[in-house]
Structure 1
Amino acid sequence: MRFADIGLSDELLRALNEAGYDAPTPIQAAAIPQVQMMRDIIAIAQTGTGKTASFVLPMIDVLANGRARARMPRSLILEPTRELAAQVAENFEKYGKYHKLSMALLIGGVQMGDQVKALEKGVDVLIATPGRLMDLFERGKILLTGCEMLVIDEADRMLDMGFIPDIENICTKLPTTRQTLLFSATMPPPIKKLADKFLSNPKYIEVARPATANVNIEQFLVNVSQMKKRDVLRDLLRTETVSNAIIFCNRKTTVRELNTSLQRHGFRSGEIHGDIDQASRQKQLEAFKNGDIDLLVASDVAARGLDVKGVSHVFNFDAPWHPDDYVHRIGRTGRAGAKGKAFTFVTKADEEAIESIEKLIGNKIERLGKIEAPAEGEERGPAKRGRRTSSAKTKEMRSDRPEEAVEALEPVRAKTVAKPAREKKAPKAETVKPDPSNGEALGDDRWNGPMPGFLGVGFGTT
């Protein structure tokens, strides 16, 4: 099937062709015709399957006929994070360049006055995070009574971030005759309850089993002690064919320290986490997308918001605290049919989390190396220390696996390199799960940087 076969306009087909796309992904092929028929839909699809275009493309055609009115957006797209909202805006600019539609982006960290001016001119497409939208609504700066179409994207992420009450509140202020599209990677009970309440006879579309990882991603668990994580990471970065990679950590302090360490060892790396303002974060993302840096060290604030073509590897420097986060982290690679690899470092303390991940995805993940006892100073007591030879390290990576499995470990065998200068051991940080109040989990209304140029209001002419 080609895009030309599903009834898209010539203007859209032209934009798709210029972007290098000819055939729809499964979620696009299933969802686009339903949106065109003005059906409510529930779409369950993993990250990297092309779900954003599955609602952006038909929305552009649906909204092509009509006229925007001041402070009354014709359509509303709700996103849990600024990164996702910005990427949806990029999609509208890319695919809607031959349509005369206007767009506004409502996110925290940019001047509210500029956003109000855009709304007063009237917009066809409003892309917003729930917090900023409710803020402007309560100030009387926006009316939702003219909204013909609502998209709730990343619904399960909305649930994780505590936005469901806001979503319910927003839904009550929209016309009951609207078309509603709900997209989610999983369907937990609260999301099903939300759909039952606010969607009318929806078409259910599922292109992958909930909480499964992309089959294009090779997954590995790497058994390692906490003290040796940096050494093992550098070995993997040198021995794997890494064109670019995202490295996830659980804490902002770990992100900063690891990025500093990688730069000290000659790697081109950058960082992104909840303490970085919007302008700096956008600068890092652009550097990564443009190839100015090869490695991006990130906290989970970026797990669902990054859409970069050609990411070859994902490294979970810290095993994720929540099983769902594993699926979304590794989903940064293996996108749009490409192949990718994901390595997750596992210490003794992570075994319970790994069991939960494997239970969620329904598969056992291949392990590399035997489980080491924690090194001296770690939680579970001292371990033998001392310099290991290359052969000893290879033996450790082989573990007790049968002979036929040894070849599978070849890509991760460390090359013989000069022993690096010993790094200063970072102070042991108390393991604390993310607190939505500190900006690490929410990342929604706590930036104060300027608005990037590509997020300017509107495309085409009004």
Structure 2
Amino acid sequence: MLNNYSNERQPPNSKPKRERKNVSFDILAAPASDAPTIRKLAAAAASDAPTIRKHVSRSKSEGPVLNLKASRARDAFIKHNNDREIGGRVKLAEGHIIEARNVDALQFFSTHHDYRRGKIREDYIPTFPKGDELYKNSTLTPGAEFQKAMYDDVVGLYCVNAKNEPVTIEMIGNYREAGVSEQLLINLSKMKITQPLPIQCFLIPFLLNCPDQDIVASAPTGSGKTIAVMLPLIELSIRAKKFECARPPHAPYVIIVGATRDLVHQLCLDSLRLANDTGIKIKCAYGEYQREANARHIREGCDILISTTGRFVDLVDKEDVLVQHARYLAVDEADKLVTDELIQDLKLVLENRIRPDVVHALFSATFNEAVLGILPKLLRNNFIRVELQTESISPTVRQKFYNIEPFDRKEELPYDIKEFMHPEQYRVPKTIIYGEGRRTIDYLAIYLSMKGIRSISMHGGRSQSQRNDAWSGFINGKYQVLCASNVAARGMNFPDVVQIINYDAPIDFDTYVHRIGRAGRLGFKAQAITFLNPTDTQQMILASHIVPALKKLGQKCPLWLKTMANFITFGTQDDINVYL
């Protein structure tokens, strides 16, 4: 029955006690007729309940399903229903019902924001598959334009030292030439990876054979930087373990720092695939990972640690991680960490704790001039800089732009534009929609689900377990559309994504490059759609960078977009400051 309250007799002169339990409701309703009812119930529950998990999905026969979990959600739904209870179900409309089931409160609050305390409860412990399950959805299938995009369009490798003097580089033709362990080659074959990409041809032998030089490497999104970094670092850890002396179990050889929790989680998963059956212990650390469990897992043995900056600093400060034995410090999406001054903070924490000869390796798809100017202060004087000379945006991604006036309603644009539907199969291709603001992103996911499109949201307001479930469900095909903030813009690998929609335009060109770089990987054709406001000055600055990129790629540029770019290009700095 739906009644979750205790009917036991209470002592005299005492108020009846009500037993509190969390209840999850599944609303099954037709997409057209009952959508207003579902929205009304969702709004009522959200205003009445302290904790709501808004999540919308759809099955072919049942229509959209809106799951609401909250301790007082039951009252909100009963208040909007006058029908009678039927065997533990409440009748909502003819042919549609609300099903109720008990939910363990401890389990519920372990994956949600605890608004009662104003903070996130760190009770989440990530899990990773083992054995053959590791390689599920890990195979990389090349697209029709693979040879052209990954090899033919590459002009070359630009390599200079700290004094901007050209440097001769060593290259390999295949993975076996690098001298890596046989087990690593087996693991690569399980991932259907047989031939190194251009950036891998240089980075793998460099990291293996040059232990006394720092490196800064830049290559476009989807060019194979993860394997180029992780493969040699795992091989170096294998070699070090053969000759190791007394070393504490929580003193890793390699430390890898990522810009976001989601990137760290995915890097750990990719590394586990490469290091399977090699004896190398890889651990991750990031916020919302239950602190005591995180430290305990690392103390059980850690050869390679992959972490976010904040959690890593905390672990080092509490001596749950010892860095004295670390030989390599790699930073993924390094330009983001440099811009946010996180690397500077990291260096201060590691000062006098880490070896002075530790190798620093910084990687990203974008390094602007401001970031490059800071790097000499962070690295040794003999560092080298490598750049894969090709277009920053993949030529297989067709870019389209829509002129949106300030007060135009954008809610229905993702559903109405004809490019959103597959022209032959009449289905929605795997799509990522980027937005600004958590409510906007949640609204988009709910709206598209009401339209029958399986969608999920991913942003900083969701717990880490929800974010992991969102991107893994999107990769596995459970959802057709991922509505996300910039937490899913950098470093994340989403196979088979063929469409990017910038519902809210990014704030700068680097973010634009990272966003549309989630699609069109390994030679697959894709398209990127961006909504722009021609009167927004920040977007005018963005347009001034987009127009030259379109010209280099030979793609069409609408006249109104050129006008936006010209306003910034031909205006003086004083003219621009008036509007900023």
TM-score (norm: length of structure 1): 0.75
SS at match of 1:84: helix
Match of 2:220 in 1: 46
Partner of 1:25: 197
User: CA offsets per residue over residues 309-349 of structure 1, 9 Å max, x none?
Assistant: 11001000111122211011101101233222111012233
Residues 245, 315 of structure 1: 8 Å contact kept: yes
Q: Residue 230 of structure 1: which of 401, 406, 411 is its match?
A: 411
In structure 2, do the counterparts of structure 1 residues 119 and 370 end up closer, same or farther at CA, with 3 Å as the change threshold?
A: closer
Q: Is the 8 A contact 2:344 2:378 kept in 1?
A: no
Distance 1:334 1:5 in 2: 29
Q: Which has the higher contact order (CA 8 A, sep 6+)?
A: 1
The question of whether the paired residues in 2 share the 8 Å contact of 1:77 and 1:126 is answered with yes
Shift of 1:40: 2.5
Alignment partner, residue 357 of structure 2: 177
Q: What whole-Å deviation, never above 9, does each CA across 1:54-113 have from its counterpart, x for those lacking one? A: 110011111102245233111100111011111110111111113111111110101111
Instruction: Establish whether residue 158 from structure 1 lines up as the match of residue 337 from structure 2.
Output: yes
Instruction: Label 1:193 to 1:162 Cα distance change in 2 as closer, same or farther (>3 A).
Output: closer
CA contact (8 A) 1:149 1:180 kept: yes
Instruction: Verify the 8 A CA contact 2:258 2:307 in the aligned structure 1.
Output: yes
- Structure 1 residues 194 and 122: alpha-carbon distance in aligned structure 2, compared to 1, 3 A threshold: farther
Moved more, 334-343 or 359-368: 359-368
Q: Which amino acid aligns with 1:50?
A: G
**Match in the other structure for 1:82:** 261
- Residue 457 of structure 2, aligned match among 250, 271, 291: 271
Return the index of the structure with the highest Cα Rg: 2
- The residue type paired with residue 2 of structure 1 is N
**C-alpha distance in 2, partners of 1:360/1:197?**
31
Aligned partner (choices 119, 126, 145) of residue 305 of structure 2: 126
Distance 1:237 1:202, change over 3 A: same
**Paired position in structure 2 for 1:338:** 524
How far apart are residue 265 of structure 1 and its match? Answer: 1.1
Deviation at 1:360, TM superposition (A): 6.4
Take 2:181 and 2:227, find their aligned partners in 1: how far apart are those partners? Answer: 14
**In structure 2, what is the equivalent of residue 440 of structure 1?**
none
Aligned twin of 1:304: 490
Deviation of 1:12 (Å):
1.0
Distance of 1:360 and 1:237 partners within structure 2? 22
Counterparts of 2:300 and 2:190 in 1: how far apart (Å)? 30
In structure 2, the CA distance between the partners of 1:267 and 1:50, relative to structure 1 (3 Å rule), is: same
Where does 1:92-241 land on structure 2 (aligned, <5 Å)?
A: 92-172=271-351, 173-187=353-367, 188-208=369-389, 212-225=392-405, 227-234=408-415, 235=417, 236-238=419-421
The match for 2:556 among 352, 358, 366 is 366
The aligned amino acid for 1:44 is: S
Deviation readout 1:408-440 (Å, 9 max, x if unpaired): xxxxxxxxxxxxxxxxxxxxxxxxx9xxxxxxx
Q: Is the 8 A contact 2:262 2:467 kept in 1?
A: no
CA–CA distance in structure 2, aligned partners of residues 338 and 276 of structure 1: 31
CA contact (8 A) 1:213 1:361 kept: no
CA contact (8 A) 2:252 2:305 kept: yes
2:184 alignment partner AA: L
Structure 2: which amino acid aligns with 1:251? G
Take 2:422 and 2:505, find their aligned partners in 1: how far apart are those partners?
A: 21
Asked whether the equivalents of residues 217 and 341 of structure 1 are also in contact (C-alpha less than 8 Å), the reply is: yes
Query: 1:246 aligns to what SS in structure 2?
Result: strand
Secondary structure at the counterpart of residue 207 of structure 1: strand
The aligned amino acid for 1:132 is R
* Aligned counterpart, 2:514: 328
Which residue of the partner structure matches residue 260 of structure 1? 446
Query: Contact (CA 8 Å) 1:314, 1:329: kept in 2 or not?
Result: yes
Output the CA distance in 2 between the equivalents of 1:152 and 1:88: 11
Distance (Å, rounded) in 2 between the aligned partners of 1:260 and 1:96: 39
Q: CA deviation at 1:266?
A: 1.2
Residue 56 of structure 1 corresponds to: 230
State the 1:191 CA deviation: 4.5
What's the offset of the Cα at 1:195? Answer: 4.2
Percent of aligned pairs sharing the same letter: 28
> Hey, what's the Cα distance between the residues in 2 that align with 1:336 and 1:3?
18
Q: Is the 8 A contact 1:81 1:305 kept in 2?
A: no
Q: Deviation of residue 201 (structure 1)?
A: 1.6
Match in the other structure for 1:36: 208
- When you count strand as a share of all residues, which structure comes out higher? 2
> Partners of 2:557 and 2:411 in 1: how far apart?
18
- Three-state SS of the structure 1 residue aligned to 2:519 is coil
Question: Could you say what the CA RMSD is over the residues aligned between the two structures, in angstroms?
Answer: 2.4
Amino acid at match of 1:220: K
Match of 2:431 in 1: 245
Task: Specify every segment of 5 or more residues in structure 2 that has no aligned partner in the other structure, as ranges.
Answer: 1-172, 562-579
Corresponding residue for residue 44 of structure 2: none
Deviating more after overlay: 194-203 vs 248-257: 194-203
Q: Which stretches in structure 1 are left out of the alignment for 5+ residues?
A: 372-432, 434-462
Give the distance between the partners of 1:289 and 1:190, measured in 2 at CA: 32
Distance in 2 separating the partners of 1:280 and 1:326: 25
2: CA distance, partners of 1:191 / 1:124: 31
Q: Residues of 2 paired with 1:197 and 1:254: CA distance? A: 38
Summarize the Cα distance change of 1:62–1:196 in structure 2 as closer, same or farther, 3 Å threshold. same
Tell me which residue corresponds to 1:375: none
Alpha-carbon contact 2:283-2:305 (below 8 Å) kept: yes
Q: Distance in 2 between matches of 1:152 and 1:330?
A: 22
TM-aligned CA deviation for residue 358 of structure 1: 4.0
CA distance in 1, matches of 2:423, 2:340: 35
